[in-house]
Structure 1
Amino acid sequence: MAVWIQAQQLQGEALHQMQALYGQHFPIEVRHYLAQWIESQLWDSVELDNPAEEAKAKRLLDNLVAELQRKAQHQVGEDGFLLKIKLGHYANQLKSTYDRCPLELVRCIRHILHSEQRLVQEATNVSASCGSGGQAMDSLSQRHQQINQAFEELRLATQETENELRNLQHNQEYFIIQYQENLRIQAQLSSLASLPPAERTQRETTLQSKRATVEAWLTREASTLQKYRLDLSEQHQKSLALLRKQQTLILDEELIQWKRRQQLAGNGGPPEGGLDVLQSWCEKLADLIWQNRQQIRRCEHLTQQLPLPGPMEELLSKLNADITDIISALVTSTFIIEKQPPQVLKTQTKFAATVRLLVGGKLNVHMNPPQVKAVIVSEQQAKALLKNESTRNDSSGEILNNNCVMEYHQATGTLSAHFRNMSLKRIKRSDRRGAESVTEEKFTVLFESQFSVGGNELVFHVKTLSLPVVVIVHGSQDNNATATVLWDNAFAEPGRVPFIVPDKVLWPQLCEALDMKYKAEMHSGRGLSEDNLVFLAQKAFSSSSNNPEDYRNMTISWAQFNRESLPGRNFTFWQWFDGVVELMKKHLKPHWNDGAILGFVNKQQAQDMLLSKPNGTFLLRFSDSEIGGITIAWVAENPNKAGERLVWNLLPYTTKDFSIRSLADRISDLNHLLFLYPDRPKDEVFAKYYTPPLSKAVDGYVKPQIRQVVPEFTTPNPEPTGGNPTFMDQAASPSVGNPNNFGIYPAMSDTMLDADGDFDLEDTMDVARHVEELLRRPMANQWSSQQS
């Protein structure tokens, strides 16, 4: 309700904009009486372009109607009776309006709430500026204020030229009347020949005197009209200059910045936002440009109606051409991609995209809804398109369901086309250069349409290109394709030739991109620390320096990033990093966000850190030798040499291992692990993630349980009372701190770890393979089961 309370304090233009958000599609009374309920709902959690979300939207609609009806029933008294009737009517109205399209209700309310928040924020920024004695505002608010001030200046200038044009029209009409009077006098003088001489002389003298007066006035007024027209032409030239300046600011700065934010969002940057603000500015521009264009055309009509000597025809013709260019630039530039297609695009897989015309509603384009077509084109074809060169082939592939009609959403005032079920059936690749692989080849989806405005007065052919996409045919290519996309999104420069990116960038620039990606995947503010980035620099540059300043001015090439393998490995820097991200995202996100995983630590660093701690202290670090692997390192006594302490490293776990048993449960299984580095008891950190105990025996059967065992560190199991030994003494996991570590497999001869922390992947088996092998062995000697 806080936003609505603040929204009611708005004044002037802001209040008018807020009121304009409401109407028959969503009455302002509903917003007022259900303010708290409306602001407490998760409107942003509904994916508007996903038809599967319609059920969620329907529940929100039904709940809204129910709340309205409940509110209506609680109204009492004479005034309450009228309000009860009104709220009941609104409940029925909303139900009938949105029952078949509940997603439109969500779209409507989201637009209203976001717009109110923007208006309140802008008003707050202005108030803060005034309250601080005119101190500098933040750059964003200051820029927005400048834009709004320029719009007010343009509005006043347009109103002034409108008034001048009306005066010109009035004066010209009076001039034509006087001109007709002069012609009438001329006709009267011509008719005097038939009169007697005495009468003719008297009448002629009077008419000639009157004609001389009218002609003198016409001469003066013609000069005045000509000056009036020239002055009005100069005013229009000034207005056009202001319009150009404002349009350049909005299209070449604000819109370009929005597109840049959209591109960085592909790497995990913050959501682009602000598109509704941009649309409101573009609509104001369209309105002002159209008004000025109509004024110029009316001025042309007046000039044709009363031709006068002078340069007016040429001036007006140039003004008309200039303002047509301005509106053409506005329309073609505001045909944008609101929701980009996926940048890693797999063939035969459904994908979606949304295009939007920011000025569509203002220019009434929806009165004859245009159709949008999507085609995929190569990098070379994209270059040709931007040079307005014709391409020999229309596309480089075939997209199914690639035509869509633009729809007008009255609640939000947006004109957009939602492609929901596109699929890339096939792709035609070009000849690759040198070491370039298929996952480095870039394509783009071209959206194009044609429509007219002003009763077919102006016809526009608009087109826009998506962000670069990399086409893959198998999931195994996703990793390398993502690298191409990340590099392009991070380092592409505005206005580049498609799709040129630098071959080398400064290491801090790449760090920023990697940190953005990592934080986005973790859904957390905890990104990569300076120590983490130093570790990554050591890996990327095969360096041993721990000083971050040593890497500040170093550059890393694309080849070092994802073309050349790391020394002694069969994978690249990016493939290793992306493996870490995938592992964390799928299985270890909460542990990273809890600060339980150090991760970016090498073996030597882990050894130095642990040897200074008590036995049983452990840490989690990413494997150097395996993609998407994480290992446990701990300090313990050397069982073969009394008094010697060693750091042990467990064979790395991968996604396959964690699909069998979680990290927390594996750590719980290992009783020799006591403290998470530096000194946190492990149960304090991981107990909340332990799997709850299994249920007791059902129908005479007990459930077997998988436990992790490290033979060298397994505590012998005591003999249970009552005769024969069993490994299924209880189905539930041991309680926290239970010294008994029950396991279903015998001690393994395979060495899973060594004292130096080294291992050979070819000579060992991962946990999943070990489980599979054990489950194929005769199990009679490992547990006894009860029979029904």
Structure 2
Amino acid sequence: MAMWIQAQQLQGDALHQMQALYGQHFPIEVRHYLAQWIESQLWDSVELDNPAEEAKAKHLLDSLMAELQRKAQHQVGEDGFLLKIKLGHYATQLKGTYDRCPLELVRCIKHILHSEQRLVQEATNASCGSAGQALDSLSQRHQQINQAFEELRLATQESENELRKLQHSQEYFIIQYQENHRIQAQINSLATLPLAERTPRETTLQSKRATVEAWLTREASTLQKYRLDLSEQHQKTVNLLRKQQTLILDEELIQWKRRQQLAGNGGPAEGGLDVLQSWCEKLADMIWQNRQQIRRCEHLTQQLPLPGPMEELLSKLNSEITDIISALVTSTFIIEKQPPQVLKTQTKFAATVRLLVGGKLNVHMNPPQVKAVIVSEQQAKALLKNESTRNDSSGEILNNNCVMEYHQATGTLSAHFRNMSLKRIKRSDRRGAESVTEEKFTVLFESQFSVGGNELVFHVKTLSLPVVVIVHGSQDNNATATVLWDNAFAEPGRVPFMVPDKVLWPQLCEALDMKYKAEMHSGRGLAEDNLVFLAQKAFPSNNNNSNPEDYSSVTISWSQFNRESLPGRNFTFWQWFDGVVELMKKHLKPHWNDGAIMGFVNKQQAQDMLLSKPNGTFLLRFSDSEIGGITIAWVAENPNKTGERLVWNLLPYTTKDFSIRSLADRISDLNHLLFLYPDRPKDEVFAKYYTPPLSKAVDGYVKPQIKQVVPEFTTPNPEPVYMEQATSLFGSDPMLDADGDFDLDDTMDVARHVEELLRRPMVNQWSSPQS
């Protein structure tokens, strides 16, 4: 309800904009009387493009009806009776409108709430500015755009007034011109009269005609000046329109598209299009008004030709303003929801395209159809050069035609492709070492429509962000690398789909941190020491560096990122990093967000850190030798040499291991692990994630329990164990390894190992010397 209270404080244009959000599609009275209930519902949790969410939307609609009926029933008194009738009427009206399409109700209310929030925020920023507080750059830009619109509105109104004056003056001129012809006709008719009768009348008419002709001569000059002044005024307005359009399309819209691209790497959401649409609609309205004025000027010029350059000037103006509106329409045909950038064949996917000026230009009166096709990088280049690629595509997309729908509540014109599927793909010849997961495609969306009663016909098209097509899940890792590099380092206005082959290491760090934060769903990203660790992995020759500044001017190439294997490994830098991300996302996210996983630490660093701590201190670090592996390193006495302390490392755990037993339970199993580095008792950190103990026998059966054991460090468990099988989930002997590394080919399949161990006698522990 807090938002509605603030919305009611709006004034002037903001108040009018707020009131314009409401109508028969959603009465403002419903918003007022159900304000608290409306603002407490999770409208944003409903995915509007997902038909499966219709049940959730239907539940919200039914709840709204129930709230309206409840509110109506509680009204008493004479005024309450009228309100009761009104609220009941609104309930019936809304049910009739949205019962068959409840998702549209959600779309409507989301639009209203987001618009109110924007208006309140803008009003708050403006009031802060008037109080002397500095506006941020975003508010300043918005203020600049709004001021320019006011200037355009005044200029358009002024030219409209001048045009009317010109029209009235010209109409009077034509009347006087006809009067002059009438006088001349009267003079000519006097020729048949006797001279005595003709002379005085002719003298009078000639005097009157001379007066009219003198007026016509003066007025013709005045009209010519009016026309020239008006054309100059229109030229200034056209220049202002072009400047405003450049600011909105080439800056604000480009920035929105850039945010959308970075969102593909896990950056912040690009934000809604409501503000941009309102600007584009204002532009369309003013451009159209000025175009109509120029056309009326042309009509007046044709109606009364006068010597001078007017026809040429007006033709130039008409051409300029038509180019401006063409650029506006073609630039505002955009992809609101991008198709997936890693696109697997035979898999359903969705996308949404939107025409930001569709409602203002009444395009929805004859809804256009949009077609989607997939094209290669070379075909995309040809499209941007306006070279013919008609009927050319690089594959076949099913369900690739969609009619644009107009949503009255939000004023949006969009096409929702919900069930597309890439049936097949046609690949081009690859260059050099390029793999199939480095080949880029794009989805082309095309449409055609007319405005102004077929006065102007537009053929619009827009390209999606680059898409990498895969046929198997095993290709996802490398395809994601291509997409991440492209999203991070693509320049606006580039030739499709050019990206630099090398970038500065800090630039890549920013992209990796963005990706990591997004997958962890937390603000804890990659710290400076994590990035130093990654730099040492990417640039092994600089491993002695531990200062981030040492890498600030180092460049990393695409080949170093995901084409060349790391020294002594059979995987690339990206494959290792992505393995870490996947492991964390699927199994260890809570522990990372709790700060329990150090992760990016090499073996030597871990040893130096742990040897300074009491026995039983441990930390968790990512494996150097295995993709998506994490190991436990701890300090303890050497069982073979009294008085000597060593750092031990368990063979790395992987996703397969954690699908059997969680990290927290594994740490709980190992009684020799006491403190998480530097000095946090392990139960304090991990106890909330432990699996509760199993119950005793049920229906005569005892349920076995899997636990892990490190033989050299086994101590009696004080807790009772019911038919508990002591097992190890690590792989083949030896279990312990001082480095925590192993060759994947020498390990046993975990599931098979567990099955084998469960058949062994209860006591079956191996000893393994430290290597």
TM-score by length of 1: 0.94
- CA distance 1:686–1:461, change in 2 (3 Å): same
- CA distance 1:661–1:355, change in 2 (3 Å): same
**Counterpart Cα distance in 2 of 1:668 and 1:46:** 40
**Counterpart Cα distance in 2 of 1:716 and 1:682:** 18
Q: Is the 8 A contact 2:622 2:629 kept in 1?
A: yes
Report the CA distance between 1:197 and its aligned residue: 3.0
- CA distance 1:415–1:749, change in 2 (3 Å): closer
**Counterpart Cα distance in 2 of 1:316 and 1:239:** 14
- CA distance 1:314–1:679, change in 2 (3 Å): same
Q: Is the 8 A contact 1:695 1:731 kept in 2?
A: no
Q: Is the 8 A contact 2:625 2:742 kept in 1?
A: no
**Counterpart Cα distance in 2 of 1:200 and 1:489:** 92
Q: Deviations over 1:183-231 (max 9, x none)?
A: 1111111211233333222221221111111111111111111111111
**Counterpart Cα distance in 2 of 1:281 and 1:261:** 19
**Counterpart Cα distance in 1 of 2:55 and 2:727:** 39
Q: Is the 8 A contact 1:753 1:759 kept in 2?
A: no
Total equivalences in the alignment: 767
The range that moved more, 342-351 or 188-197, is 188-197
Q: Is the 8 A contact 1:616 1:673 kept in 2?
A: yes
Equivalence for 2:402: 404
**Counterpart Cα distance in 2 of 1:190 and 1:765:** 120
Q: Is the 8 A contact 1:751 1:764 kept in 2?
A: no
The range that moved more, 331-340 or 391-400, is 391-400
Report the CA distance between 1:775 and its aligned residue: 4.0
Report the CA distance between 1:760 and its aligned residue: 4.1
Report the CA distance between 1:244 and its aligned residue: 0.3
Q: Deviations over 1:261-283 (max 9, x none)?
A: 00000000000014111111000
Report the CA distance between 1:556 and its aligned residue: 0.5
Q: Deviations over 1:560-605 (max 9, x none)?
A: 0000000000000000000000000011111100111101011111
Q: Is the 8 A contact 1:562 1:575 kept in 2?
A: yes
Report the CA distance between 1:718 and its aligned residue: 8.6
The range that moved more, 133-142 or 565-574, is 133-142
**Counterpart Cα distance in 2 of 1:392 and 1:115:** 40
Q: Is the 8 A contact 2:727 2:757 kept in 1?
A: no
Q: Deviations over 1:682-718 (max 9, x none)?
A: 1111111111233443221121111122222222469
Q: Is the 8 A contact 1:704 1:731 kept in 2?
A: no
* 3-state DSSP of counterpart to 2:233: helix
Report the CA distance between 1:61 and its aligned residue: 1.1
**Counterpart Cα distance in 2 of 1:414 and 1:4:** 23
Q: Is the 8 A contact 1:265 1:271 kept in 2?
A: yes
**Counterpart Cα distance in 1 of 2:646 and 2:187:** 127
The range that moved more, 146-155 or 658-667, is 658-667
**Counterpart Cα distance in 1 of 2:726 and 2:507:** 53
* 3-state DSSP of counterpart to 1:361: coil
The range that moved more, 222-231 or 512-521, is 222-231
Equivalence for 2:165: 167
- CA distance 1:644–1:346, change in 2 (3 Å): same
Q: Is the 8 A contact 1:129 1:137 kept in 2?
A: no
- CA distance 1:698–1:730, change in 2 (3 Å): farther
**Counterpart Cα distance in 2 of 1:184 and 1:119:** 62
* 3-state DSSP of counterpart to 2:726: coil
- CA distance 1:129–1:73, change in 2 (3 Å): closer
Q: Is the 8 A contact 1:702 1:785 kept in 2?
A: no
Q: Is the 8 A contact 1:404 1:419 kept in 2?
A: yes
- CA distance 1:109–1:504, change in 2 (3 Å): same
The range that moved more, 638-647 or 356-365, is 638-647
Q: Is the 8 A contact 1:727 1:783 kept in 2?
A: no
- CA distance 1:411–1:132, change in 2 (3 Å): closer
Q: Is the 8 A contact 1:651 1:766 kept in 2?
A: no
Q: Is the 8 A contact 1:726 1:782 kept in 2?
A: no
**Counterpart Cα distance in 1 of 2:741 and 2:221:** 99
1:417 aligns to 2:415 (yes or no): yes
- CA distance 1:152–1:637, change in 2 (3 Å): same
* 3-state DSSP of counterpart to 2:738: coil
Q: Is the 8 A contact 2:696 2:722 kept in 1?
A: no
Q: Is the 8 A contact 1:653 1:766 kept in 2?
A: no
Q: 2:206 aligns with which of 205, 208, 217?
A: 208
Report the CA distance between 1:779 and its aligned residue: 8.4
Report the CA distance between 1:394 and its aligned residue: 1.0
- CA distance 1:511–1:222, change in 2 (3 Å): same
- CA distance 1:668–1:76, change in 2 (3 Å): same
Q: Is the 8 A contact 1:267 1:516 kept in 2?
A: yes
Runs of 4+ in 1 over 6 A off after TM superposition: 729-733, 778-788
- CA distance 1:760–1:470, change in 2 (3 Å): closer
* 3-state DSSP of counterpart to 1:543: helix
Q: Deviations over 1:286-325 (max 9, x none)?
A: 0000000000111111111111111111111111111100
Equivalence for 1:737: none
TM-score by length of 2: 0.96
The range that moved more, 397-406 or 197-206, is 197-206
The range that moved more, 251-260 or 771-780, is 771-780
Identical pairs, percent? 94
**Counterpart Cα distance in 1 of 2:755 and 2:703:** 17
Q: Is the 8 A contact 2:369 2:404 kept in 1?
A: yes
- CA distance 1:758–1:47, change in 2 (3 Å): closer
**Counterpart Cα distance in 2 of 1:131 and 1:441:** 50
Report the CA distance between 1:670 and its aligned residue: 1.2
**Counterpart Cα distance in 1 of 2:439 and 2:717:** 59
Q: Is the 8 A contact 2:98 2:104 kept in 1?
A: yes
Q: Is the 8 A contact 2:623 2:630 kept in 1?
A: yes
**Counterpart Cα distance in 2 of 1:141 and 1:685:** 44
**Counterpart Cα distance in 2 of 1:379 and 1:366:** 32
Q: Is the 8 A contact 1:18 1:116 kept in 2?
A: yes
- CA distance 1:537–1:85, change in 2 (3 Å): same
Q: Deviations over 1:633-684 (max 9, x none)?
A: 1111111122221111111111111111111111111111111111111111
Q: Is the 8 A contact 1:701 1:786 kept in 2?
A: no
- CA distance 1:784–1:470, change in 2 (3 Å): closer
The range that moved more, 433-442 or 30-39, is 30-39
Report the CA distance between 1:758 and its aligned residue: 4.7
Q: Is the 8 A contact 1:727 1:782 kept in 2?
A: no
* 3-state DSSP of counterpart to 1:776: coil
Q: Deviations over 1:340-380 (max 9, x none)?
A: 00000111111100000000000000000000011111111
* Structure 1 segment 418-567 matched on structure 2, within 5 A: 418-543=416-541, 545=543, 547=545, 548-567=548-567
**Counterpart Cα distance in 1 of 2:767 and 2:488:** 60
- CA distance 1:782–1:68, change in 2 (3 Å): farther
* Structure 1 segment 214-233 matched on structure 2, within 5 A: 214-233=212-231
Q: For structure 2, which runs of at least 5 residues remain unmatched after alignment?
A: none
**Counterpart Cα distance in 2 of 1:622 and 1:47:** 36
**Counterpart Cα distance in 2 of 1:215 and 1:86:** 69
**Counterpart Cα distance in 1 of 2:404 and 2:136:** 37
Q: Deviations over 1:84-125 (max 9, x none)?
A: 111111111111111111111111111111111111111111
- CA distance 1:79–1:129, change in 2 (3 Å): closer
Report the CA distance between 1:732 and its aligned residue: 17
* 3-state DSSP of counterpart to 1:496: coil
- CA distance 1:661–1:158, change in 2 (3 Å): same
- CA distance 1:540–1:76, change in 2 (3 Å): same
The range that moved more, 685-694 or 286-295, is 685-694
- CA distance 1:718–1:11, change in 2 (3 Å): closer
Report the CA distance between 1:785 and its aligned residue: 32
* 3-state DSSP of counterpart to 1:450: strand
Equivalence for 1:193: 191
Report the CA distance between 1:764 and its aligned residue: 3.5
Q: Is the 8 A contact 1:703 1:731 kept in 2?
A: no
Equivalence for 2:762: 779
**Counterpart Cα distance in 2 of 1:785 and 1:151:** 78
The range that moved more, 264-273 or 301-310, is 301-310
Q: Deviations over 1:469-525 (max 9, x none)?
A: 000000000000000000000001111111110010000000000000000000100
The range that moved more, 337-346 or 62-71, is 62-71
Equivalence for 1:255: 253
Report the CA distance between 1:435 and its aligned residue: 0.5
**Counterpart Cα distance in 1 of 2:727 and 2:605:** 38
**Counterpart Cα distance in 2 of 1:757 and 1:280:** 59
- CA distance 1:210–1:379, change in 2 (3 Å): same
* 3-state DSSP of counterpart to 1:95: helix
Q: Deviations over 1:369-394 (max 9, x none)?
A: 00001111111111111011113761
